[in-house]
Amino acid sequence: MLSSHARLRARESSKEGSLPRQGYLAKLVAECAHEQTAKDSKLQCLAHLANFAYDPINYDHFLRLNVADLFVDTLEEALQSNAAEFQRLTTQGICNLAPDTRFQKVLIESDIVPLLLTACKSTDITTITASIATLFFLLDAPPSITQRNVLVENRKVYDCIQNCTQHANPIVRNTAMAYLSRQASILEESAG
């Protein structure tokens, strides 16, 4: 459920000894980024961060804490080590942030597109779908954030998404078709 600032303040003040939202998020980021944190604890922290990423009320905190960079770095490591659980959680977190232009800028500057294309080859349906959905959101990033050749006119992206339209899972297929439909609309709008 989306929150309001008043609701968050009321919830924080009702829990004795609880950290304010930014403090709690900072604690999660620190634990996730610490090299000595156990794998299961990192997964739990990532799950919490990905969950908090769905609510725009947390976006300012996420920007200050560089959570998008944490997601991107963790995704890159997870793709290299074939860590499916980490891939799933990071792509979900990235997808939750991707509609916001401030995070679109961070993601494009972090060269997220090749990572998402690799994640689209995963065997995990959620990872694939979150990756395609993120690319979908990035299609509408302002020109000041991304050039057309990064997504709209990128043959590697098109081929990858086209391949996903043949996937056995209907959610992956439909998400890929939605991407291609939006891409075609953008190309038509710019031609007309």
Tokens of 62: 């996420």
CA–CA gap between residue 45 and residue 29 (Å, rounded): 7
CB burial string 163-179: b at 16+ within 10 A, e below: ebeebeeeebeebbeeb
Q: How far apart are the first and last CA of the chain?
A: 40
Query: pTM value?
Result: 0.90
Structure confidence by residue, pLDDT tens digits, 40-77? 999 999 999 999 999 999 999 999 999 999 999 999 99
The b-or-e profile of 96-121 (16+ CB within 10 A means b, else e) is bbbbbeebbbbbbebebbebbbbbbe
Domains of the chain, CATH where assigned? 18-191 (1.25.10.10)
For the stretch 100-145, pLDDT in tens is 999 999 999 999 999 999 999 999 999 999 999 999 999 999 999 9
